[in-house]
Structure 1
Amino acid sequence: MGLLNVLVFVYGTLRKQQINHYMMKNYRCIAEDVWVYGKLYDAGAGYPFLALNRGREKVRGEIFAVPQSELYMLDEFEDYTPNDLNSLYVRVEVEVYDNNNNTTKAFTYVCNKEEMLLHEIEGHDWARFLGNLGTNEKI
């Protein structure tokens, strides 16, 4: 019996070449140049927040296939506990788009704390944002 995988869209420190990508190294990346619609914010703590209800900008990221039995590890990393109103992030299912106008449903983690959405990231691409800061290496 094979493992059931779920798709996870990552847009921040879990992306390739980012500091926390080690969390994804055992999972297969199935799409690299994809996006969701929303806005990306710098939390000022070395990681971004995604807000889906604040606009329709293209927030860039990647999709990984993650065994459903291991999704709890990402939940813990993202400080998400189901039904806990104090979670930093909430895991939701979103439509992810590619350059060929295809869509895929995937889980992602969005901000659960409005007060963290202070500094909108120009271009809504975490990797590009770090490059614009002159930070080409992992932070």
Structure 2
Amino acid sequence: MKLFVYGTLRKGGANHTFLDKAILLKENCWVYGELHDTKKGYPILKDHQNAIVWGEVYEVNQELLNHVDVLEGYSHTGSDNEYIRVIRQIYTEGYTLHAFVYIAGKTFHNCDQLIKSGNWFDVKPM
């Protein structure tokens, strides 16, 4: 399974150790959306078709994805998740692919601290 990460799970990010057993497939790729600073030390991605968010794609297994679900406050049955895990098209140089992405759940719908560059490391350097 492929997982697109854009915040603290990226290489150099505070939670990257969660992906120690994952395989990095692609750096410098992007997805349509807006990146917002939660002011809690991590960003959220909101659906948006006129902006992009930069990140990385990893190959993960189900066990690892389950651990990331816990980190991201995602439950398959919960409606009050911090994040919702969805499949989105990811863009890279020369091709596209599909990957799981965590986007803002109801908890963060009012978060409006836009990161215009779409790059979390512009706000929280590695």
* Length-normalised TM-score, structure 1: 0.85
Q: Which runs of 5+ in 1 are unaligned?
A: 1-5, 131-135
Report the 3-state secondary structure (helix = DSSP H, G, I; strand = E; otherwise coil) of the residue aligned with 2:123.
Answer: helix
User: Structure 1 stretches (4+) deviating beyond 4 angstroms?
Assistant: none
User: Within 5 A, what are the aligned runs for 1:1-139?
Assistant: 6-52=1-47, 54-100=48-94, 102-113=95-106, 114-115=109-110, 117-130=111-124, 136-137=125-126
Normalising by structure 2, we get a TM-score of: 0.93
Q: Shift of residue 99 of structure 1?
A: 2.0
Q: Which has the larger radius of gyration?
A: 1
Distance 1:119 1:55, change over 3 A: farther
3-state SS, counterpart of residue 86 of structure 1: coil
- Give the aligned length: 124
Alignment RMSD (CA, Å): 1.2
CA distance, structure 1, for counterparts of residue 42 and residue 105 of structure 2: 14
Cα offset, 1:38, TM superposition: 0.7
Q: Which runs of 5+ in 2 are unaligned?
A: none
Report if the CA contact (8 A) 1:123-1:129 is conserved.
no
Q: What residue in structure 2 maps to residue 133 of structure 1?
A: none
Percent identical among aligned pairs is 33
CA shift digits 1:83-108 (9 cap, x unpaired): 211110000000000122x1100001
